[in-house]
Amino acid sequence: LKNHVVDRFPKEDDMHVTSEATIKLKLPHGHTGVLVKNLYLSCDPVQRLLMHNKQLILQYPNYTPASPLSGYGVSKVLESGHPELKEGDLVWGFTRWEEYSLIDRPESLIKIRHTDVPLSYYAGILGMAGLSAYVGFYEICNPKKGEKVFISAASGAVGQLVGQFAKLLGCYVVGSAGSKEKVDLLKEKLGFDEAFNYKEEGDELEATLKRYFPQGIDIYFDNVGGKTLDAVLVNMRDHGRIAACGMISQYNVGVEESEGVQNLMQVVLKRITLKGFNVNDYIHLYEDYLDYVLPYIRQGKIVYMQDIAQGHLDAAPSLLIGLFSGRNLGKQLLLWFSD
């Protein structure tokens, strides 16, 4: 990171790639960490929040200028000072945007045990995005068969899974996304009952939702916040549940420009449960999640759209920024080319 980014969209120029930083490909004697080669890097909206000059999220340290960005990834262990990891192991977890990283706290990495599925999945469906979808839907929303579910940023890393989980449970599922291509994929590839392009609805979002949910929404999985959340509140049913997973529409604006939510009183009037969550508080559910999702993946009952760019780290800043204009189609990853 070159500089903190506050109250505006990040630019490629806020980051720079250097080939000058070097790392010794040998663990210092007695070191209890691991040395890894990063294979896949995941681009996540949360990284934008870490560019801020204030610490906005307790669970992740902010980036400091002149330091490498950190983020989720899939890596291979080259050398280990940790008893539970050895050379050649594949792991996923929090690494840095570097070709090689020395991870001081290897207990934060999760060893990859199921290798009959694509390795890239551990930076998406079998990583933080997948667990977020599972926790947000099952733990936060307490869903029941037949309920009516709405998901924003529905074609993204998290949203596409929430929709498929809800369909498997027997819910009616509608998603919103930012292009025709994404909307078509939601309906044709991911099995959503309905989907619409929110960019075409403008200020009509309230009426649009009324059309798709004449009896109201039981569950809203919120990835975007702002005016979408406001329109949803009016369309919620009594005792509805809202999982506040993220509010990406508000990450790049200051307090003055942020879209205030006007309809919050609906929470009281309709006895709605609105709950925010951070996936890091639910890592203990990871094995349960694998037990749930792996059979569906193997049977082809859940599919995962990935947007995998191949290249070197130079490509990463533009991929990260692309999340905020919806350039990604599914989970955005960088697959590191080996020279």
Bridge partner residues of 336 (DSSP): 311
Q: Which is nearer to ligand NDP, 48 or 148 (CB)?
A: 48
Residue 323 found at the interface with ligand NDP (CB under 6 A):
yes
Residue 70 found at the interface with ligand NDP (CB under 6 A):
no
Residue 243 CB, shortest distance to ligand NDP, in Å, is 9
Residue 38 CB, shortest distance to ligand NDP, in Å, is 19
Distance CA 1, CA 317 (A): 10
Stretch that binds ligand NDP, among 86-94, 99-107, 156-164, 288-296 (CB under 6 A): 156-164
**Residue 72 has which token pair?**
């989720």
Could you give the 3-state DSSP secondary structure of residue 298?
A: helix
Alpha helices in the chain (DSSP H): 46-49, 128-134, 141, 159-169, 180-188, 198-201, 205-212, 226-235, 265-269, 286-298, 316-322
The 8 Å CB, 24+ separation contacts for 51-58 are 51/1, 51/4, 51/5, 51/10, 51/14, 52/4, 52/5, 52/6, 53/4, 53/6, 57/278, 58/278
Residue 156 CB, shortest distance to ligand NDP, in Å, is 2
Stretch that binds ligand NDP, among 81-89, 115-123, 125-133, 230-238 (CB under 6 A): 125-133
Residue 246 found at the interface with ligand NDP (CB under 6 A):
yes
- Tell which residue, 69, 27, 79, has the closest CA to residue 48: 69
Q: Which position among 69, 85, 151, 157 is part of the footprint of ligand NDP (CB under 6 A)?
A: 157
Residue 322 CB, shortest distance to ligand NDP, in Å, is 8
Distance CA 7, CA 252 (A): 5
Q: With contact defined as beta carbons under 8 Å apart, do 274 and 244 qualify? A: yes
Bridge-based pairing state of the strands 110-111 and 100-103: unpaired
The interface mask with ligand NDP, positions 98-117, x = CB under 6 A, is --------------------
φ/ψ of 321, rounded to 5, equals: -65, -30
Q: Which is nearer to ligand NDP, 196 or 213 (CB)?
A: 196
The closest residue (CB) to ligand NDP is: 156
Distance CA 191, CA 185 (A): 9
Residue 305 found at the interface with ligand NDP (CB under 6 A):
no
Stretch that binds ligand NDP, among 93-101, 114-122, 188-196, 241-249 (CB under 6 A): 241-249
Q: Which is nearer to ligand NDP, 13 or 281 (CB)?
A: 281
Using CB under 6 A as the binding criterion, the count of chain residues that bind ligand NDP stands at 31
Q: With contact defined as beta carbons under 8 Å apart, do 98 and 75 qualify? A: no
The interface mask with ligand NDP, positions 247-276, x = CB under 6 A, is xxx---------------------------
Residue with tokens 């800043």: 317
Q: With contact defined as beta carbons under 8 Å apart, do 91 and 111 qualify? A: yes
Stretch that binds ligand NDP, among 21-29, 31-39, 149-157, 298-306 (CB under 6 A): 149-157
The interface mask with ligand NDP, positions 126-145, x = CB under 6 A, is --xx--x-------------
Residue 156 found at the interface with ligand NDP (CB under 6 A):
yes
**Residue 32 has which token pair?**
């209890």
Residue 46 found at the interface with ligand NDP (CB under 6 A):
yes
Chain residues binding ligand NDP by CB under 6 A are 44-46, 128-129, 132, 153, 155-159, 177-179, 182, 223-224, 245-249, 277-279, 323-324, 326, 328, 331
